[in-house]
């Protein structure tokens, strides 16, 4: 209830910001994508993590305005990177099921791309498995429209949720993000290692790009690269950081 009250007016009060986490090519180490992550520094409550306020914003419907702000802000930032080492980066944005269900969503996305001079392949939308089980028919249509625009669709936290393997062919996905719960134990648990290996093999056979999340050690990165995982994300690569820091990181990997 307190969060709900504090969320009202928070966009106008400029209390939100985005940080960006690098996603590198597992083979070359080059920065190819970045995930935009929302941060809220509330005047009333101080910093509130997204796990706490996103569900509240979803319950109140505020997620639509907030999600629109994130989309605009992230696309504007990529537009600002035009003349830099990040000029061809793909931005990955987390999208709530409520946004996908909003009839104006596809138009909103295409307008954000045009307004900021982004090529559609520079935008990727991250969905969770939960999105795919809710209102399946409409979701399929919306995802097909987004793919037709040239926007990428990525399945976040893969393997933790309500995984049905049929989703992988039923929906227009192009990227799987392997949840960090599996990546975490890859060096020491044969079971996790086998599981990640199997996910990667399956992704390859379905023509999907694979991103490993939560990569925290050099050992994990090496194993994942050997298994054929295309991209790596996690504290071993970089933490979520502000644009200036990300630019320095990109320069170091150019």
Contacts to ligand G by CB under 6 A: 21, 37-38, 49-51, 54, 70, 94, 96, 156-157, 180, 213-216, 234-235, 240
Can you tell me which of 89, 156, 167, 208 binds Na ion, judged by CB under 5 A? Answer: 156
Q: How far is CA 158 from CA 5, 103, 153, 211, 239, in A?
A: 33, 26, 13, 10, 21
The CB-of-83 to ligand G minimum distance in angstroms stands at 26
Q: Find which of Na ion, Mn ion, ligand G, none residue 203 binds, CB within 5 to 8 Å per kind.
A: none
The CB-of-71 to ligand G minimum distance in angstroms stands at 9
Q: Are 94 and 54 in contact (CB under 8 A)?
A: no
Can you tell me which of 126, 158, 178, 230 binds Mn ion, judged by CB under 5 A? Answer: 126
Nearer to ligand G, 122 or 240 (CB): 240
Place of tokens 């200036």: 244
Nearer to Mn ion, 106 or 127 (CB): 127
Which residue, among 76, 70, 71, has the nearest Cα to 40 in the 3D structure? 70
Say whether residue 35 binds Na ion (CB under 5 A): no
Say whether residue 102 binds Na ion (CB under 5 A): no
Bridge-based pairing state of the strands 123-127 and 90-94: parallel
**What is the separation of C-alpha 7 from the centre of its chain, rounded to a whole number of angstroms?**
22
Nearer to Mn ion, 94 or 116 (CB): 94
Distance CA 109, CA 101 (A): 13
- Token pair in block for residue 59: 């319950």
Nearer to Mn ion, 15 or 157 (CB): 157
If you compute the radius of gyration of the chain from its CA atoms, what whole number of angstroms results? 18
Which residue, among 139, 183, 131, 204, has the nearest Cα to 161 in the 3D structure? 131
Nearer to Na ion, 16 or 180 (CB): 180
Q: Find which of ligand G, Na ion, Mn ion, none residue 152 binds, CB within 5 to 8 Å per kind.
A: none
Give the single-character DSSP code of 81.
T
Which residue stretch of 87-95, 131-139, 150-158, 193-201 sits at the interface with Na ion (rule: CB under 5 A)? 150-158
Chain positions contacting Na ion, by CB under 5 A:
156-157, 213
């Amino acid at each position: 209830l307190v969060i709900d009250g504090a969320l009202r007016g928070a966009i106008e009060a400029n209390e939100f910001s985005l940080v960006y986490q690098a996603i590198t090519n597992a083979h070359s180490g080059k920065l190819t994508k970045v995930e935009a992550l929302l941060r809220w520094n509330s005047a009333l409550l101080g910093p509130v993590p997204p796990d706490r306020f996103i569900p509240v914003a979803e319950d109140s419907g505020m997620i639509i305005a907030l999600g629109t702000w994130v989309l605009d802000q992230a696309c504007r930032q990529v537009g600002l990177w035009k003349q830099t080492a990040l000029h061809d980066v793909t931005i990955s944005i987390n999208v709530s099921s409520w946004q996908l269900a909003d009839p104006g969503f596809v138009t909103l996305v295409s307008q954000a791309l045009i307004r900021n001079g982004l090529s559609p392949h520079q935008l990727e939308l991250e969905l969770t498995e939960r999105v795919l089980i809710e209102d399946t028919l409409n979701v399929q249509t919306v995802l097909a429209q987004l793919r037709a625009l040239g926007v990428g669709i990525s399945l976040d936290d893969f393997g933790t949720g309500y995984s049905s393997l049929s989703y992988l062919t039923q929906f227009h996905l192009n990227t799987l993000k392997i949840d960090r719960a599996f990546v975490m134990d890859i060096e020491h648990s044969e079971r996790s290692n086998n599981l990640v290996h199997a996910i990667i093999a399956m992704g390859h056979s379905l023509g999907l790009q694979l991103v490993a999340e939560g990569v925290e050690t050099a050992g994990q990165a090496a194993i994942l690269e050997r298994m054929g995982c295309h991209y790596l994300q996690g504290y071993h690569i970089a933490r979520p950081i502000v644009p200036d820091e990300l630019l320095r990181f990109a320069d170091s990997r150019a």
